[in-house]
Amino acid sequence: MESKVNLAVKIAGVRFKNPVLTASGTFGYGIEFAQFFDISRLGGFCTKGLSLLPMAGNRPGRIVETPAGMLNAIGLENVGVDCFIVEKLPLLEHYDTQVVANILGKSVEEFAELARRLDLHAKISSLELNISCPNIKEGGIHFGHDPKMAFQAVTAVKRNTTKPVWVKLSPNVTDVTVIAKVCEEAGADALTLVNTFVGMSIDVYKRRPMLSNVTGGLSGPAIRPLAVRMVYQVAKAVRIPVVGIGGIMCARDALEFMVAGATAVQVGTANFTDPLAAVKVIEGLEQFCREQGISDISTLVGSIRANG
């Protein structure tokens, strides 16, 4: 008889049945994917970034495909935290998966208020602070690049919630470990790395930017080696768990992040190319463990060996 593989991981006391989550902004409010598969199979998912008030997002011309990836400048369009709580959250009640609420504030006070409103809802297992969205001027970018503001945002959120607090970091910095350590110091329970890289694409006939916002966030397999490197650096620099994200298309990609030091991973852009991508990653991880004689996937976390 085949021995059972334990795929479960824990982040700040919260148990995920497997280390595969789906990324904020690529999975709607969860329910959209229930038409394709049983979302209870996921370790968890991160909601579309929630703001205090609904946001309309950027003008059309929001995405463009690039080699092995895509640029997006959606502009944080979302229904707002209250609508999420009233209309979306009840639909998730009977799904057995961890809901991570991704929140975005324009100020420390907004981050704090978002945390307070979401804290009352048991279905939400953790909060993920988006301090790194590159697409709107006032949206998070100061927090993601300014250690002092990141510290304040994390502290304020921690004061207003009993739930574990993850911080999703921007890769658009010189040394990602600096802000990672600051967030850890401020009490963050986990770090998500990475958000999208700022990029640009130009229509050479019209000589105009392809995106109405001029620049956008690059995601997809194109960024994976960069993301793996950052996860590796940060996992060595902090003691809190790291959640790896960046261009994961298959189980092998997810394993790269885990070996580099990620306790769990998020599948993002792949959800667009194949709505079943995350499920296939889970199945692939189980198969890999079985083939490699690994009984507990958490033993892979940070298991990278030195060259030599």
Q: To the nearest whole angstrom, how small is the minimum distance from the Cβ of residue 117 to another protein?
A: 23
Stretch that binds another protein, among 11-19, 21-29, 140-148, 256-264 (CB under 8 A): 21-29
Candidates 269, 285, 289, 300; binder of another protein (CB under 8 A) is 269
Q: How many residues does the chain have?
A: 308
> Contact between 265 and another protein (CB under 8 A)?
no
Strand pairing category for 63-66 and 44-46: unpaired
Stretch that binds another protein, among 32-40, 87-95, 109-117, 120-128 (CB under 8 A): 32-40
Could you tell me the CA-to-CA distances from 8 to 13, 104, 170, 281 in Å, in that order? Answer: 12, 28, 27, 14
> Contact between 63 and another protein (CB under 8 A)?
yes
Q: To the nearest whole angstrom, how small is the minimum distance from the Cβ of residue 270 to another protein?
A: 9
> Contact between 287 and another protein (CB under 8 A)?
no
Q: How far apart are the first and last CA of the chain?
A: 37
- CA atoms within 13 Å, Cβ hemisphere of 272: 15
> Contact between 307 and another protein (CB under 8 A)?
no
Residues 6+ apart with CB under 8 A from 243: 11, 21, 166, 190, 191, 192, 193, 262, 263, 264, 265, 266
The DSSP element (H or E) to which 278 belongs, if any, is: helix 277-292
Residues 116-175 that bind another protein (CB under 8 A): none
DSSP annotation of 146: -
Candidates 51, 72, 97, 196; binder of another protein (CB under 8 A) is 72
- Letters for 197-216 (x = contact with another protein by CB under 8 A, - = none) are -----------x--------
- Residue with the two structure tokens 């304020």: 156
Stretch that binds another protein, among 51-59, 190-198, 236-244, 255-263 (CB under 8 A): 51-59
Active site residue 183: no
> Contact between 12 and another protein (CB under 8 A)?
no
> Contact between 275 and another protein (CB under 8 A)?
yes
Task: Identify which of 142, 89, 143 has the alpha carbon closest to the alpha carbon of residue 120.
Answer: 89
Could you tell me the CA-to-CA distances from 166 to 158, 194, 216, 232 in Å, in that order? Answer: 10, 12, 23, 17
Active site (catalytic) residues: 133
Where do contacts with another protein occur on this chain (CB under 8 A)?
Answer: 25-28, 32-33, 35-36, 56-65, 67-70, 72, 74, 77, 208, 220-221, 249-250, 252-253, 269, 271-276
